[in-house]
Amino acid sequence: MTRSEKMLTQPNIDRIIRVNQAGEHGATRIYAGQLAVLKNSTIRSTLKEMEAQEIEHLKVFNELAVEHSISPTIFQPIWHVGGYLLGTATALLGEKAAHACTIAVEEVIADHYQKQLDELSDAQNGELKATIARIREEEIAHKDHAIDEGGLQAPAYETITATVKFICKTAIWLSKRV
């Protein structure tokens, strides 16, 4: 059996669902924070559309968590507040900075989901794998849209994206564990 064909144990499936549920929760909170600041913005409708997709992603992982009796990460209250603060902070820097935040988050998440897809076998986890693949493509579309809208031209782009990526990677690392 090759590495890509290995069967994942239930604790590994639980870890995947728990960390994805936490991440999607955090994403909904980032958009909520951005929308609270950018009330009269030209990008408001775009943010609301992306937020709606993140809410749908969260619903999927919430349902999987219930189905598999998986408790959310103990860090959920921190991600709830932290996501909102991250969204608020980037939006206060302007529309392009909000898009820079999206670029950074979605780059980390696309990579994170790809690693999960590489880990999951089609035979054992085909439905979960298909769900993650679909959501990954939607996250990449968010990133591409944020790039098209000028996110790469945000003031302090490198600082914003490095900070957001660090936060996301740390949240993933912690959420995988408990």
Q: What is the pLDDT of residues 102-116, one digit of tens each?
A: 999 999 999 999 999
Cβ 98 vs Cβ 34: under 8 Å: yes
pTM above the 0.85 mark?
yes
Domains of the chain: 9-177 (1.20.1260)
**Closest to 83 in 3D by CA, of 174, 164, 147:** 164
Residue 125: CB atoms within 10 A of its CB come to 20
- % helix, strand, coil for the chain, step of 5: 85, 0, 15
Which pLDDT score, from 0 to 100, does residue 127 have?
Answer: 87
On the question of pLDDT at 14 being above 80, the answer is yes
pLDDT of residue 7: 54
| Tokens read off for 161 | 């994206």
* Chain length of the chain: 178
**Residues whose CB is less than 8 angstroms from the CB of residue 40 and which lie 6 or more positions away in sequence, other chains included:** none
Axis crossing angle, helix 76-92 with helix 95-119, rounded to the nearest 10: 140
